[in-house]
């Protein structure tokens, strides 16, 4: 079954789709308000798709049930993400990508974005795709299953443009985790457009501006 989603279209015939994954405990409504802040004159018609993650118990939150893309078992980066949950979420994201293709938007005009847990899934899914997406957006996040990435990443996946950003004051996902993930991906040959901001585990106006610039370049190229 497809995940439930919140959708916003900027016109009746979208040429690009932006699939945006929320963070732990949030839902698809969380980043919907960012749409008007991002939009610029002259952009093609877009479809923003904000899915709701499944509800599941989260170990580090005393087993409380909440929307999560995977369980978080501890705070060590190599054991942080539940691999089964990550792979299940990758499959669910792939189903949403397939629906966009069925609706007339090819993979090369799909951007996969995510914040925190959502960004982890965006990176994990994007590097493993046989058909490259138009770009990946990874905000305040890290690369899960880093030890298996080299063996599972595809040439197309590693050739996908990436916008990666992090807060220097982030107490939830420290900047050092983002930096380590960036270095791991660059070591595999991935080109990362990296940005840091004086912010905690959040987004800021400068980040939205820089992301808009990056998206503008993707639209021009596509």
CA–CA separation, 213 and 163 (whole Å): 10
Rg (CA), the chain: 16
Q: Which residues contact 152 (CB under 8 A, 6 or more apart)?
A: 127, 128
Residue of 8, 52, 201, 216 with catalytic role: 201
Residue 32, token pair as written in the block? 């919907």
Catalytic, 78? Answer: no
End-to-end CA distance of the chain: 31
CA–CA separation, 212 and 129 (whole Å): 24
pLDDT at residue number 74 = 77
pLDDT at position 109 over 80: yes
Band of the pLDDT at 75, cuts 50, 70, 90?
Answer: low
Task: Tell the burial category of 52 from Cβ atoms under 10 Å away from its Cβ (0-12, 13-18, 19+).
Answer: middle
Judged by DSSP in three states, 195 sits in: strand
Residue of 27, 71, 82, 170 with catalytic role: 170
Alpha helices, DSSP H only, in the chain?
35-38, 83-102, 117-126, 146-152, 155-158, 175-187, 205-221
Q: Which helix (H) or strand (E) holds 47?
A: strand 46-51
Q: How many CB atoms within 10 Å of residue 7?
A: 13
Alpha helices, DSSP H only, in 45-115?
83-102
- Mean pLDDT of all residues in 118-125: 98
Q: Which residues contact 77 (CB under 8 A, 6 or more apart)?
A: 142, 146, 177, 180
CA–CA separation, 213 and 216 (whole Å): 5
pLDDT at position 76 over 70: no
How far are the Cα atoms of 14, 25, 29, 86, 146 from residue 92, in angstroms, in the given order?
22, 18, 18, 10, 20
pLDDT in tens, 154-201: 999 999 999 999 999 999 999 999 999 999 999 999 999 999 999 999
Catalytic, 116? Answer: yes
Residue that has been written with the tokens 């004086």 in this structure: 198
Residue that has been written with the tokens 């789709």 in this structure: 17
Residue of 116, 140, 166, 181 with catalytic role: 116
Selected residue with higher pLDDT from 76 and 111: 111
């Amino acid at each position: 079954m497809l995940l439930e989603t919140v959708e916003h279209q900027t016109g009746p015939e979208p040429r690009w789709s932006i699939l945006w994954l929320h963070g732990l405990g949030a839902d698809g409504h969380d980043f919907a308000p960012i749409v008007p802040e991002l939009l610029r004159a002259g952009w093609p018609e877009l479809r923003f798709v904000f899915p709701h993650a499944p509800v599941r118990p989260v170990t580090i939150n005393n087993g409380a049930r909440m929307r999560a893309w995977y369980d978080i078992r501890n705070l060590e980066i190599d054991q942080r993400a539940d691999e089964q949950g990550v792979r299940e979420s990758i499959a669910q994201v792939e189903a949403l990508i397939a629906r966009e293709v069925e609706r007339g938007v090819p993979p090369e005009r799909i951007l996969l974005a995510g914040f925190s847990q959502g960004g982890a899934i965006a990176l994990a899914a994007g590097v493993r795709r046989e058909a490259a997406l138009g770009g990946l957006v990874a905000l305040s996040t890290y690369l899960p299953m880093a030890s298996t990435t080299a063996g599972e990443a595809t040439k197309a996946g590693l050739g996908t443009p990436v916008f990666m950003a992090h807060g220097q004051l982030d107490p939830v996902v420290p900047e050092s985790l983002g930096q380590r993930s960036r270095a791991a991906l660059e070591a595999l040959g991935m080109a990362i457009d990296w940005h840091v901001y004086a912010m905690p585990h959040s987004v800021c106006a400068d980040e939205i501006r820089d992301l808009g610039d990056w998206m503008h370049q993707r639209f021009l190229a596509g």
